[in-house]
């Protein structure tokens, strides 16, 4: 291998390492916009059947920003994914992955978007 080619390979390897690093330190992936709409429907309809159509409480507690503020995000994600054994709160792992549950938690803490 002559020198310019070696240099080229070294630069390419360096760039690849940088790209991998950037991908690892990036925010968790956001659901795409179609999936976000599906998640809003799921929360308003399925979660709403217990937490109230306006998410202000029913069989389950209110899922309002005021009520959820005291909980760390990962505890809420775990509640959504695994449910609360011994209560009516079911686990949603068959329908949601952790980043989708994280997206829902972030939206609930801001005031959940309406159905369009």
| Residue 21 or 93 having the CB closest to ligand HEC | 93
Taking CB under 6 A as the rule, does residue 9 contact ligand HEC?
no
Contacting residue, 67, 78, 91, 99, with ligand HEC by CB under 6 A: 67
Report residue 60 as tokens: 């389950």
The site map against ligand HEC for 15-44 (x = CB under 6 A) is: ----------------------------x-
Q: What is the DSSP string of the chain?
A: --HHHHHHHHHHHHHHHHHHHHHHHSPPPPPPHHHHHHHHHHIIIIIHHHH-TTSS-SSSPP--HHHHTTS-HHHHHHHHHH--TTSS----TTT--HHHHHHHHHHHHH-PPPP-
The site map against ligand HEC for 72-91 (x = CB under 6 A) is: ----x--xx---x--xxxx-
- In the complex, which residues of this chain contact ligand HEC (CB under 6 A)? 43, 46-47, 49-51, 59-61, 63, 67, 76, 79-80, 84, 87-90, 92, 104
């Amino acid at each position: 291998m002559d020198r310019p080619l070696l240099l080229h390979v070294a630069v390419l390897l360096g760039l690849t390492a940088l790209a991998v690093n950037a991908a690892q330190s990036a925010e968790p992936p956001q659901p795409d916009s179609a999936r976000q709409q599906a998640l809003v429907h799921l929360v308003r309809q399925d979660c709403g059947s217990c937490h109230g159509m306006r998410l202000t409480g029913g069989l389950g507690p209110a899922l309002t920003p005021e009520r959820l503020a005291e909980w760390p995000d990962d505890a809420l994600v775990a509640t959504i994914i695994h449910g609360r054994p011994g209560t009516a709160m079911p686990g949603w792992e068959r329908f949601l992955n952790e980043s989708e549950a994280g997206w829902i938690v972030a939206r609930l803490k801001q005031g959940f978007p309406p159905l369009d």
